[in-house]
């Protein structure tokens, strides 16, 4: 049995809790949360942008704490799941490693590369594993694209364009605080930064231009280049001033012998494909595969299966490992630097 302790029972903590309950051989043994109402099982005020609404939960059998130190001192845990706001990821992760636990930390790994490096060093020192919650590769469209890139079935990948744009998330606290959530660069685009890093390797240079709000990138375009690998990748991301389209993501990926397309949006409260997953073949053929698992909860289930399987088998995760997540934060910092200086930013500083 893998015993999990969740730290931070907000929207993501609830999604993880509900998901662990579906996994055989996994048990949420403890929850740590400063909001004591949540520790009584009253989750009715938890709100997010997908998944079930918060309910009154029966937490009998789950030990509850308001301090991570107390939780670590009094519970036998295999895995600490950090679903705190980003500014608190590093400290909680390092504390859990010092207590000899493996850690699954939500994205972004941290808001600063230097803190990511401290987290990775703490994992090495404790000889424990760090997994970071980059769930995007478990969404069916991105899993489909990653598989095509890995398998080479359309020839070598040449590059691509990635898009992730939302309405102003007025319901998220501290969204525009650089030292709390970090705005859409660290909260939203970090998903694509991670996917680009996973699929193409680490870019050598990024050039970004953006519109700013409260000193943070609000909406921007970035071009990633990869030295001798020669890929050309671009990303568009950020917040635009409307509330009719809550969410929009998609990609166009170029291969030697095909192009893959997909775009999804939530418009007027309804989620729909603007372009269903499509392959344009060099022969002129057009394929529209049916992908399974459209509910975001399925992606979280696949992600937590990977984490708990990795813990069970004492292995790293090729997708959820710390080094890739750390590079995703580095790519966000490079884009911020490029936008601030209006010039390309190199990976070497
Ligand atoms: N993978 C995804 O698609 C996705 C989606 C949403 C959020 N997230 C990530 O999940 C993380 C949490 O986001 P959220 O939306 O759940 O935030 P949230 O504000 O809903 O939840 C955070 C919880 O942590 C609690 N908390 C704060 N300080 C604490 C402390 N010192 N000890 C214990 N509890 C404490 C808060 O009371 C709150 O309940 C963020 O890193 C966010 O980026 C990921």
CATH at 107: 3.40.50.720
Give residue 50's pLDDT: 85
- Residue-wise pLDDT tens digits, 53-82: 999 999 999 999 999 999 999 999 999 999
Residue of 50, 106, 111, 296 with the most ligand 1 atoms within 8 Å of its CB, for mutation: 106
Tokens of 153: 């079935």
Q: What is the pTM of this model?
A: 0.96
Q: Is the confidence at residue 349, as pLDDT, over 70?
A: no
Residue of 5, 6, 11, 325 with the most ligand 1 atoms within 8 Å of its CB, for mutation: 11
Average pLDDT over residues 129-143: 98
The answer to whether residues 126 and 143 belong to one domain is no
Average pLDDT over residues 137-160: 98
Give the distance (Å) from ligand 1 centre to CA of residue 306.
21
Q: Would you state the torsion angle of the CA atoms of residues 152, 154, 157, 162, taken in this order, to the nearest 10 degrees? A: -120
Query: Atom of ligand 1 at shortest distance to CA of 8?
Result: 24
The answer to whether residues 122 and 183 belong to one domain is no
- Residue-wise pLDDT tens digits, 224-264: 999 999 999 999 999 999 999 999 999 999 999 999 999 99
Give the distance (Å) from ligand 1 centre to CA of residue 275.
32
Give residue 243's pLDDT: 94
Give the distance (Å) from ligand 1 centre to CA of residue 24.
25
Give residue 13's pLDDT: 98
Give residue 343's pLDDT: 67
Query: Atom of ligand 1 at shortest distance to CA of 67?
Result: 32
Average pLDDT over residues 188-213: 97
Q: Is the confidence at residue 289, as pLDDT, over 90?
A: yes
Give residue 47's pLDDT: 84
The answer to whether residues 76 and 118 belong to one domain is yes
| Segments forming the whole domain that contains residue 78 | 2-134+301-311
Cα-based distances in Å from 253 to 101, 136, 292, 295? 39, 16, 20, 23
The answer to whether residues 268 and 188 belong to one domain is yes
Whether 319 maps to a domain, the answer reads no
Whether 123 maps to a domain, the answer reads yes
Given pLDDT bands bounded at 50, 70 and 90, which one contains residue 170?
Answer: confident
The answer to whether the CB of 32 is under 6 A from ligand 1 is: yes
Query: Atom of ligand 1 at shortest distance to CA of 173?
Result: 19
The answer to whether residues 232 and 255 belong to one domain is yes
Tally of domains within the chain: 2
Strand segments, DSSP code E, in the chain are: 2-7, 26-32, 63-65, 79-82, 102-106, 130-133, 157-167, 205-213, 216-225, 232-240, 245-255, 258-267, 270-281, 286-287, 345-346
Q: Is the confidence at residue 173, as pLDDT, over 90?
A: no
The answer to whether the CB of 87 is under 6 A from ligand 1 is: no
- Residue-wise pLDDT tens digits, 87-125: 999 999 999 999 999 999 999 999 999 999 999 999 999
Give the distance (Å) from ligand 1 centre to CA of residue 230.
38
- What is the full DSSP assignment across 302-318? HHHHHHHHHHHTT---T
- What is the full DSSP assignment across 192-246? HHHHHHHHH---SEEEEEEEEETTEEEEEEEEEE-GGG--EEEEEEEEES-SSEE
């Amino acid at each position: 049995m893998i015993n999990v302790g969740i730290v931070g029972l907000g929207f993501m903590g609830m999604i993880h809790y509900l998901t662990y309950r579906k996994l055989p051989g996994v048990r949420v043994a403890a929850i740590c949360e400063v909001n004591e109402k949540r520790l009584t099982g009253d989750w009715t005020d938890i709100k997010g942008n997908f998944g079930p609404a918060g309910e009154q939960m029966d937490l009998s059998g789950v030990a509850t704490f308001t301090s991570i130190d107390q939780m670590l001192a009094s519970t036998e845990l295999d895995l600490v799941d950090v679903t705190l706001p980003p500014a608190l990821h590093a400290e909680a992760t390092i504390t859990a490693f010092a207590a000899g636990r493996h850690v699954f930390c939500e994205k972004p790994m941290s808001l600063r590369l230097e803190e990511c490096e401290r987290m990775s060093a703490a994992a090495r020192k404790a000889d424990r594993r760090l997994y970071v919650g980059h769930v995007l590769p478990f969404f069916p469209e991105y899993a489909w694209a990653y598989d095509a890139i890995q398998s080479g079935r359309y020839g070598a990948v040449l590059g691509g364009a990635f898009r992730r744009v939302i309405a102003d998330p007025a319901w998220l606290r501290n969204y525009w605080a650089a030292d709390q959530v970090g705005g859409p660069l660290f909260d939203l685009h970090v998903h694509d930064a991670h996917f680009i890093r996973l699929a193409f390797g680490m870019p050598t240079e990024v050039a970004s231009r953006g519109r700013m709000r409260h000193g943070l990138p609000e909406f921007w375009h970035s071009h990633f280049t990869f030295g001798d690998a020669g890929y050309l990748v671009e990303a568009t991301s950020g917040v635009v001033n409307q509330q009719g389209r809550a969410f929009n993501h998609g990609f166009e990926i170029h291969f030697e012998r095909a192009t893959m397309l997909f775009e999804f949006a939530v418009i007027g409260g309804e989620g729909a494909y603007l372009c269903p997953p499509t392959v344009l073949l060099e022969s002129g053929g057009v394929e529209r595969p049916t992908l399974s698992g459209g509910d975001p909860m399925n992606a979280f289930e696949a992600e937590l299966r990977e984490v708990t399987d990795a813990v069970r088998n004492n292995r790293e995760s090729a997708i959820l490992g710390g080094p890739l997540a750390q590079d995703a934060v580095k790519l966000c910092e490079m884009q911020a630097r490029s936008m601030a200086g209006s010039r390309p930013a190199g990976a070497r500083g």
